[in-house]
């Protein structure tokens, strides 16, 4: 049983091809999303169809793999059953690859006014708000109201925030000016707030500084060491400073699927399941957690592996090989060696 049709889940499913086993992949959506390009859908550069592929089509060559549209609500490791809204289903092996969602750090009410970017639906909502902002500004007679409508705030200076802020400013400056008569879209204000000392904190410092310079050259206002303390429909607050903005987009944090808490294992601050060297849950060798839902710290490292597609795919392939070897041969030589991530670059 594989829960999740993202990079990790699909990589695991492909490893389980042509073996004497029944494989099932469950997901709440019927399509796989190429998440690295979601920001281009959000900024109207790509259509959703360009970055989404039906899971059934992707696994069409695996007749022994069933794909089911289901909302998993829990996992009973004692009885080896996956709990879905309609009931439950048994498993011999379980791979949890359900990913992450936005984390508003205890301020979930911000989500309605500051959408994040993790799904096709998120991307189309951000695109709708962005394009409607320019339409509204075109016929707004009040100068202050127009400035607020043309102010876009992006909270979070990681890859998603940097890409989103840069793309919005690029479109406003280079693509849209010819489309409007009453406003100059190039004057749109894009502000990127990052709580830490640099953007792209997971990258080498030299690349962070280069990214910051490029954003500023493009016209994005980069505000570092700036923590948003409140968000509402009229703008954002940072301490005693208020910034009027009709559009706020969230890219500041993620938390793991709530399903990890039903495993009964240790989780980190983001809710990710802390897994062993073979990516299994301690005490449950037949339950694997991979991809963004897993917290795995390699031997000799001080921090867990990042939540990126490369890590997810390699974890999926590893877990799939372990199960394949145990089903076909009884033991797994792969499991005897700890998972090792090979970074191919960013």
Closest CA relative to residue 193, chosen from 169, 242, 228: 228
Pairing type for strands 2-3 and 94-96 reads parallel
Helix (H) or strand (E) holding 119: none
User: What SS3 class is residue 250?
Assistant: strand
Question: 163 an active-site residue?
Answer: yes
Catalytic residue among 78, 86, 138, 163: 163
Angle between helices 309-329 and 7-15 (to 10 degrees): 30
Task: Record the tokens describing residue 346, joined without a space.
Answer: 């960013």
DSSP 276-337: -TTSEETTEEEEEE-GGGEE---TT-SSPPPSSHHHHHHHHHHHHHHHHHHHHHSS-TTTTS
DSSP 201-219: TTS-HHHHHHHHHHHHHHT
Active site residues: 163
């Amino acid at each position: 049983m594989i829960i999740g049709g993202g990079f990790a889940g699909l990589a695991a499913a492909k490893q389980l091809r042509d073996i004497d086993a029944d494989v099932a992949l469950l997901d709440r959506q019927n399509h796989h999303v190429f998440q690295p390009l979601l920001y281009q859908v959000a900024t109207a550069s790509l259509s959703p169809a360009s970055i989404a592929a039906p899971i059934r089509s992707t696994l069409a060559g695996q007749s022994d793999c069933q794909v089911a549209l289901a909302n998993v609500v829990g996992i009973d490791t004692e009885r080896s059953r996956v709990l879905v809204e309609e009931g439950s289903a048994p498993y011999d092996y379980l791979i949890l690859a359900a990913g992450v969602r936005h984390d508003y750090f205890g301020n979930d009410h911000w989500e309605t006014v500051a959408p994040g970017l993790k799904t096709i639906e998120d991307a189309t909502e951000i695109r709708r708000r962005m394009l409607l902002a320019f339409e509204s500004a075109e016929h707004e007679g009040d100068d202050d109201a127009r400035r607020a409508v043309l102010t876009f705030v992006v909270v979070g200076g990681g890859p998603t925030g940097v890409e989103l802020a840069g793309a919005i400013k690029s479109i406003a400056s280079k693509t849209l000016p010819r489309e409007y008569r009453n406003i100059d879209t190039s004057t749109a204000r894009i502000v990127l707030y990052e709580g830490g000392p640099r953007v792209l904190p997971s990258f080498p410092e030299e690349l962070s500084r280069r990214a910051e310079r490029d954003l500023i050259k493009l016209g994005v206002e980069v505000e570092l060491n700036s923590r948003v303390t409140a968000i509402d429909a009229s703008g954002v607050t940072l301490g005693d400073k208020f910034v009027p903005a009709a559009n706020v987009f969230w890219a500041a944090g993620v938390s793991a699927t709530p399903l990890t808490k039903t495993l009964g294992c240790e989780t980190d601050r983001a809710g990710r399941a802390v897994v062993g060297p073979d990516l299994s849950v301690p005490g449950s060798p037949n339950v694997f957690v991979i991809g963004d839902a897993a917290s795995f710290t390699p031997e000799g490292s001080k921090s867990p592996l990042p939540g990126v597609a490369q890590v997810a795919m390699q974890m999926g392939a590893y877990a799939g090989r372990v199960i394949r070897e145990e089903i076909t041969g009884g033991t797994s030589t792969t499991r005897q060696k700890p998972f090792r991530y090979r970074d191919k670059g960013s």
